[in-house]
Amino acid sequence: MIHMITGGERSGKSSYAQQLALEASNVPIYFATAKVWDNEFKERIRRHKTERDQRWQLIESEIEIFRCLPESGRTVVIDCITLWLTNLFSFYKSDKRQAFDEAKQEVNQLSAYPGNLFVVTNEIGVGVHAPHSTTRDFVELQGWTNQHLGKNADKVTLMVSGIPMTVK
């Protein structure tokens, strides 16, 4: 089962995903995709870690998701697709097509996972049109990936100001 949780930055996506995971399992897994880019991001990751107690197991991977999941069907929060896409986009030297091909393959594999996946992502293309082509390319990559993930998800929730709204 894939439950996609999307919304803007600081909309409550991660907290909601963690709440759902704890309702589904006493020993959920937090799958972190973040890369430590700078000291500010290092602090953000530290804060995220303090939000989880001893019940949580941790998996960290910047590029691969499906191959790093436990084989048995477990309850996993994947946080987050946007940071993972940033890593892919960087890995493929800002080639949005290559990054999207990889993202589609990964999402297709996630659809076969025999557990509960709570997948956190961001809606970044809702604001102004970006002035730089690289930024526009990333916004397109995020949008395409969210569409593909949404089509493959069993449930989709949009977080607005900490309030979950059922989309699918």
- Point out the residues that are catalytic: 48
Retrieve residue 122's tokens.
């961001």
Retrieve residue 87's tokens.
């890593």
78 beta partners: 31, 119
Instruction: Name the amino acid, one letter, at 49.
Output: K
